[in-house]
């Protein structure tokens, strides 16, 4: 694979790229159900992780353009979850939200390839995060690793919107030709970066099929491959 030249800064997607968000999210919801069993076993019996995920996604879709803080969306999802099963209780929803957030951040684990790759790259490149999520690096064992951090909730626009990539360029302090974006989502990361005129690398950890039929310039299955395609010396 040929080297990517002229890059000065690298932005990374977070959830799914640096850590397994899906896994920690389900893990945290399991703890929520266990907590609910202590206070309202009847309600816990009619809920499961899949139902709570569907309700959260519904709330997120209904909140587009209105609420951008993801923690508020999660709290509202717990309120709606209890309401949907006829157990409206704002105090309980708030408690469940705190249980969720505790495990959501404390139990998150970065992928094994993250630290070695970032340490190798930070010597030469300005590193940043560009995410539609809200996983702060200092809560995930990556304090001080990034020089710029962009969360979509802070700007009211999400990937793949090119405007968020433009904001990233401004925060990074470099031109389109000097920024490389790395992410696992074909739609949010690869299509978004491509439409914004920014070079990108698709991190395809599970080696899934390119269902969007996008022309992929660079595809890797591990972040450890990045130092192989970027000059680090």
Each residue's pLDDT tens digit, 72-100: 999 999 999 999 999 999 999 999 999 99
Domain ranges of the chain: 9-19+111-229, 22-106
pLDDT score of 1: 64
Q: What is the pLDDT of residues 36-47, one digit of tens each?
A: 999 999 999 999
pLDDT score of 156: 87
pLDDT score of 13: 98
Helix boundaries (H) for the chain: 21-39, 41-45, 49-63, 70-84, 90-106, 114-121, 162-172, 192-195, 226-229
- How many helices (H) and strands (E) would you count in the chain? 9, 6
Classify residue 11 by its DSSP letter.
E
Q: What is the CATH number of domain 22-106?
A: 1.20.120
Q: What is the pLDDT of residues 127-148, one digit of tens each?
A: 999 999 988 898 888 999 999 9
Structural element, H or E, at residue 131: strand 126-131
Percent with pLDDT over 90 in the chain: 84
d(CA 218, CA 200): 7
pLDDT score of 43: 95
Residue segments in the chain with a per-residue pLDDT below the cut of 50:
none
pLDDT score of 68: 67
Fold of the 9-19+111-229 domain: Rossmann fold (3.40.50)
pLDDT score of 173: 96
- Do domains 9-19+111-229 and 22-106 share one topology? The answer is no
pLDDT score of 63: 83
């Amino acid at each position: 694979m040929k080297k990517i030249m002229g890059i000065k800064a690298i932005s990374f997607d977070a959830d799914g790229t640096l850590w397994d968000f899906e896994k920690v999210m389900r893990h945290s919801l399991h703890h929520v159900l266990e907590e609910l069993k202590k206070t309202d076993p009847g309600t816990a019996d009619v809920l499961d992780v899949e139902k709570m995920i569907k309700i959260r996604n519904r709330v997120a879709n209904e909140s587009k353009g209105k609420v951008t803080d993801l923690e508020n969306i999660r709290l509202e999802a717990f309120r709606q979850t209890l309401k949907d099963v006829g157990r409206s209780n704002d105090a309980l929803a708030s408690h469940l939200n705190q249980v969720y957030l505790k495990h959501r951040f404390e139990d998150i684990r970065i992928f094994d390839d993250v630290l070695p790759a970032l340490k190798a790259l930070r010597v030469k490149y300005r590193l940043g995060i560009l995410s539609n999520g809200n996983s702060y690096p200092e809560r995930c064992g990556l304090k001080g690793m990034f020089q710029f951090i962009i969360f979509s909730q802070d700007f009211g626009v999400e990937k793949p919107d090119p405007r968020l990539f433009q904001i990233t360029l401004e925060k990074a302090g470099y031109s389109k030709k000097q920024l490389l974006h790395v992410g696992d989502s074909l739609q949010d990361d690869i299509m978004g970066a491509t439409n914004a005129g920014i070079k990108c690398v698709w991190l395809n950890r599970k080696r899934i099929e390119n269902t969007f039929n996008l022309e992929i310039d660079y595809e890797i299955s591990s972040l450890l491959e990045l130092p192989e395609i970027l000059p680090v010396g």
